[in-house]
Structure 1
Amino acid sequence: MKGTKYSQVWNLDNLFPDGNISFQFQEHIKYLETKVCNLEKELSHLNTPQEINESFKVAELIDSIEHIRINLSQSNSYITCLHAQNTKDQTSSILRGKTSSINARFEIALKKLQKTLVKTDHQLWEDMLDTEVLSSYKFILSEWRKKATLLLTDDEESLVSDLMLDGYHAWGQFYHSLIGSLKVSVQIDGETKELSIGQAMNLRSHPDEEVRKESHNTLEKVWKEYEEQFAKILNHIAGFRLQVYKKRRVENILEEPLMENRLKEETLNSMWKAVSKNKQPFTKYLNQKAEMIGDTKVKSYNFWAPLRKSNRKIHYEEAVHFILEQFSKFGTEIESFSRHAFNNGWIEAEDRPNKSATAFCASFPMSGESRVFMTYGDRITNVLTLAHELGHAYHNHAMKPIKGINRQYPMCIAETASIFTEIIILDAALEKAGSTDEKLFLLDEKLKRSVMNFMNIHSRFLFETRFYEERKSGIVSTSRLNELMQEAIDEGYEGSLDNVSIHSWVWTPHYYITKTPFYNFPYTFGYLFSLCIYAKAKDKGKAFEKDYIDLLRDSGSMSPEDLVMKHLGEDITSETFWEKGIELCVRDVEEFITLTSS
């Protein structure tokens, strides 16, 4: 942008020039097809290992798999970025179809290898894992062996994978295309503006209540108009997933998300128990805020509202400088990395039509880069989103020296890294607050995040769990989806939120992510875990950055339980661990009540 040092438009050309007509990208796809074809041929001759020296062959296959995975990630991320920057780009959808087909073949090949390895004699398997060529992959290979016990026959897995392309994953892609194509008209400062869903959602934190209310009501009308279409999408995604579970004899709908997060159910239950027991302070915060606004309960469209009416804008360049300044206080590497990202076109933040509504970070492991996508709207919430996505990018950066398949970390740890950087920025802003009003404004922003993770995310978990249980018996109607959402929000917020959006199931994209089921609890996990990490960082200062990088680098080769025990010496299967993080947030509530009562 003119007049600013940092561009708000990213650079994708150094990845693959010429966008959706890139010749280099077409060649990349052809290369991928060849590599997957070669892997399929190798696996067609693979037999169950009988001798320990076959460890070398397994190691060679792992190298091939990781090479393909890195190349696939590069292509998938590129297509995701193309579509996000312009949801009307039909060519990117065609390209996604090509890479999805390659990805499906790759997944079939990977499952075939896993099924072959699971047949290996137990003692021989243990001996193979102790060999020099496989010992560094011990955790991942053991995980593969466990996953293989749930797999169907090769032909059945191949059929499921093929059907996913134009069924399961296609429904998820259709959701993003549909919601990305919608437009709403909202009156701002006496002028009617046509906005994308992402732009309209940004108005949740607008200082003018009338703008927030109109945006909320306008969006609700759109959700109501399209609810049948979205209900069909959600039902078909869930139905497909449940049919596959049924075939694999998986009864617990949490089995896959827990396995993907490498998390014990005991850990998840302890976390939610701790959260459920400690919601009262946050209900008190919401009620206090409602009273200040002049309501008995906080209306949903006022939840993200600034506590004090303020027209102050945080321009993009100011946000960048503040983020870099605060990151430098934590460590030199994160500051240097983030500066490089801002200076080299890794960030797409421009506020313009036809962009996707969802912020994200995309990894490009071949080139060792990331891309951050968002719509920046000059508000503190946008600054925090930018910091959040940079946290994901920094995690990708930290994993660069890690070999092969040990780079794959679970979502609950991914969210830890992103929320950690968000906390750095929010706490820094609080420390710099020059007045009580400014401090209250920022403390309110901090508490909103606690409410989101303890109440909103819990309501999402409750909704998704109950929806899937009902979906086992057949299609869940639109009216029932609205009822389930209302019930989940009432329980999650303990009745402290008014005028709720019963169509939250429509506009929350996480319900429609086909590659990551139950993408809700990883946020709460990450939030509480990051609070504990942040407390350690505050105590140790800049020296902690090395410890933090070590933790991130272990995140792909350990369970969360073992990771936290190794680096923090804490048992996360215990409610006590989670209560420590919650207690830090309760102190924020107490300070908020004190400041607003004086």
Structure 2
Amino acid sequence: MTYSLNWDLDSIFPGGSQSAQLAQRMTKLKEQTHSYHQLIDQWQPEADTNYQELTAILELQGSISDGFSQCNSFINALLSSNIKDKQAKILSGDLYALLPAIQLAETIFSKKITAISDEQWQQLITLPDFQPIAFRLGEIRRDGQKLLSEDAENIINTLSLDGLNAWSSHYDTIVATITIPFKENGQEVQLSAGQAFNRMMGDPDPEVRAALFDKWEAAWSEKAPLLADTLNHLDGFRLSNYQLHGETDFLENPLNYNRMKKETLDAMWATIQKNKQPFVDFLTRKAQLFGKNKMEWQDQDAPIILGDLKEKTFSFDAAAEFILENFQKFSPKMADFAKTAFEKSWIEAEDRPDKRPGGYCTELPETKESRIFMTFGNSINEVATLAHELGHAFHSSVMWDLPVLDREYAMNVAETASTFAELIVADATLKEAQTPEEKINLLDTKMQNAIAMFMNIHARFIFENKFYTARQNGLLSEDEITELMLEAQKESYQDSLGTYHPHFWASKLHFFIDDVPFYNFPYTFGYLFSMGIYAYANQQGSNFEDQYIALLRDTASMSSEDLAKKHLGVDLTQPDFWQAGIDQVIKDVNEFMQLTEGYVTK
């Protein structure tokens, strides 16, 4: 085997959760935070005429931000690869205990930035040292206007450790107790949540999928009372925080975080809603190919095997080579970067128990590296996931030389680079198809992403909207939450499914993440935004690479609307851009419908 299935964490901090170097860095973080407080307390903006003190504050702020991210990424990696690492969980608590002091310093800094006169502010942001970060400083100045007193903000941040953050962590604790019994080769085995999910949604045997789905629903239903408490209090804390800061619209915060206008979000969802029918038709046709009248939840991502087709599988090495070969056609720099990630063992891909479900890419700013977590199962789906996460990592890599403030891109544009990388792999596999049956299989694989974005994630958005609205009036029971989820799925899928996943709200980590609210619509934004970039790339040919990197480097220094206008010349608040992206996907649907016509019994 050429590439390791396990990531290298010792090159970050040797010794795992017992690492002395990690302990030293966390101690240094505490010391840096103390110095940060001193610098900010002493800073008098009107007297800092040459802005040397402000420069020193921003440099130390950057070092603290990078150090916290480095430690947090490492600890989270330990927990992801071994959900039973109790010491890592303690370390996570120790690290987050540093947050209130950091946040208090940032509160004081934001208030002082906000208090600067308009005349001095305009002078400041035109200076060469500050012009590159003027947009981000402007966001700090804007957000500072909503802040409460320093004492009040400190109380909220301190309480969040045993409130917002604690409830999110509690979700991980519950998930670690979940095992799914499954008979394999005549013996019963206990699958972790991650293993069970991969088998349930991707196994070619429909009986395996159905059996696992029933057990999956039962497992989450059993934990539903605990998870209902968790979700109620996590989002209740968040809503209280919004209210204290004068935010009456719970979408205001996630929209500001993603640097998006409400008009953009509305235009995107409205355009998707108008174009649901082709995707309903696709799901119905796929169900018919499985011998069913309607699509069942667990069959959405199942492979379509027609005729004598044997589903193509990939070893991890083969997946790596396929990705490298096709990245090279679009961007040699992206291919070179991905090769480094494989060669330096930045990827945890082994299929084994005690791993957290799902996949992600995390940044290590102090070593200017990334780490990728997933469970590789040899299917084209996992190849796509691998490409997706490498896209995230490449995005980070082209920004390491920028100031820290200009590296803090939001989730919606983060999903652009990852989905773009996925599109490269999807189209490459389609071009290699030798028979109609193989092309049907690969078109279906490509369409799984579109169904997720337009149906599944839309359901998540509808659910969270309704949950937050209801939660403002009090706690919801587990049955009420489950009913909201079921209603959202039926609305989004337009009643096109034969079975639904009522406890999806319990099984999906994204609803329980504490740092990013509404962890859903940015995925759909990124998917359609990447479709626009992908079409643009195909038009530009060899001139694309530098333009693409320039776009990625701007992702944290302007609004989403300005980014699209500058690099693509489009208006995101209008339906035209979104319709153009959806039209590209509908072409794939139409081809799928034509190719499968002869396989459906009349």
Determine whether 1:214 maps to 2:178.
no
Asked whether the equivalents of residues 114 and 145 of structure 2 are also in contact (C-alpha less than 8 Å), the reply is: yes
Determine whether 1:228 maps to 2:228.
no
Distance of 1:497 and 1:46 partners within structure 2: 61
Asked whether the equivalents of residues 5 and 350 of structure 2 are also in contact (C-alpha less than 8 Å), the reply is: yes
Which residue does 1:344 correspond to in 2? 344
Which residue does 2:59 correspond to in 1? 63
* Secondary structure at the counterpart of residue 2 of structure 2: coil
Question: Quick one: which of 136, 161, 184 aligns to 2:157?
Answer: 161
Determine whether 1:111 maps to 2:107.
yes
Q: Which deviations, in whole Å up to 9, do the C-alpha atoms of 1:377-410 show, x marking residues without a partner?
A: 1111111111111111111111112123111101
Distance of 1:259 and 1:58 partners within structure 2: 25
Determine whether 1:171 maps to 2:160.
no
Q: Cα distance, 1:189 vs. partner? A: 4.6
Distance of 1:264 and 1:59 partners within structure 2: 31
Alignment of 1:409-420 (within 5 A): 409-420=409-420
Q: Which deviations, in whole Å up to 9, do the C-alpha atoms of 1:415-438 show, x marking residues without a partner?
A: 011111011101100111111111
Determine whether 1:393 maps to 2:393.
yes
Q: Which deviations, in whole Å up to 9, do the C-alpha atoms of 1:272-313 show, x marking residues without a partner?
A: 111111111111111111222222210001111101164543
* Secondary structure at the counterpart of residue 501 of structure 1: coil
Residue type at the aligned position of 1:440: I
Asked whether the equivalents of residues 107 and 147 of structure 2 are also in contact (C-alpha less than 8 Å), the reply is: yes
Question: Quick one: which of 176, 179, 186 aligns to 1:183?
Answer: 179
Q: Cα distance, 1:54 vs. partner? A: 5.4
Distance of 2:132 and 2:317 partners within structure 1: 43
Determine whether 1:302 maps to 2:299.
yes
Residue type at the aligned position of 2:225: E
Q: Percent identity?
A: 39
Which residue does 2:454 correspond to in 1? 454
Determine whether 1:96 maps to 2:92.
yes
Determine whether 1:482 maps to 2:482.
yes
Distance of 1:153 and 1:333 partners within structure 2: 48
Q: Which deviations, in whole Å up to 9, do the C-alpha atoms of 1:516-565 show, x marking residues without a partner?
A: 00010100000000011111112222431111111100111111111111
Distance of 1:63 and 1:11 partners within structure 2: 29
Q: Cα distance, 1:56 vs. partner? A: 3.2
Alignment of 1:190-589 (within 5 A): 190-203=186-199, 204-308=201-305, 310=310, 312-589=312-589
Distance of 2:62 and 2:263 partners within structure 1: 31
Distance of 1:299 and 1:189 partners within structure 2: 26
Residue type at the aligned position of 1:101: A
Residue type at the aligned position of 1:32: L
Q: Which deviations, in whole Å up to 9, do the C-alpha atoms of 1:221-272 show, x marking residues without a partner?
A: 1011110001010001011001111111111000100011111111111111
Residue type at the aligned position of 2:79: H
Decide which moves more: 489-498 or 129-138: 129-138
- C-alpha RMSD of the superposition: 1.2
Which residue does 1:140 correspond to in 2? 136
Determine whether 1:13 maps to 2:7.
no
Determine whether 1:45 maps to 2:35.
no
Q: Which deviations, in whole Å up to 9, do the C-alpha atoms of 1:73-96 show, x marking residues without a partner?
A: 100000000111100000001111
Distance of 1:307 and 1:205 partners within structure 2: 10
Q: Which deviations, in whole Å up to 9, do the C-alpha atoms of 1:326-374 show, x marking residues without a partner?
A: 1111111111110110011100000010001121111001101100000
**Cα pair distance change 1:241/1:189, threshold 3 Å:** same
Distance of 1:206 and 1:449 partners within structure 2: 17
Distance of 2:532 and 2:128 partners within structure 1: 35
Residue type at the aligned position of 1:547: Q
Determine whether 1:592 maps to 2:564.
no
* Secondary structure at the counterpart of residue 362 of structure 1: strand
Residue type at the aligned position of 1:27: Q
Q: Cα distance, 1:52 vs. partner? A: 7.0
* Secondary structure at the counterpart of residue 409 of structure 1: coil
Distance of 1:481 and 1:181 partners within structure 2: 22
* Secondary structure at the counterpart of residue 152 of structure 2: helix
Distance of 2:262 and 2:51 partners within structure 1: 33
Distance of 1:5 and 1:343 partners within structure 2: 8
Asked whether the equivalents of residues 225 and 478 of structure 2 are also in contact (C-alpha less than 8 Å), the reply is: yes
TM-score, normalised to structure 2, is 0.97
Residue type at the aligned position of 1:501: H
Residue type at the aligned position of 1:326: N
**Cα pair distance change 1:313/1:366, threshold 3 Å:** same
Distance of 2:46 and 2:11 partners within structure 1: 47
Distance of 1:563 and 1:505 partners within structure 2: 33
* Secondary structure at the counterpart of residue 223 of structure 1: helix
Which residue does 2:33 correspond to in 1? 36
Q: Cα distance, 1:495 vs. partner? A: 0.8
Asked whether the equivalents of residues 180 and 357 of structure 1 are also in contact (C-alpha less than 8 Å), the reply is: no
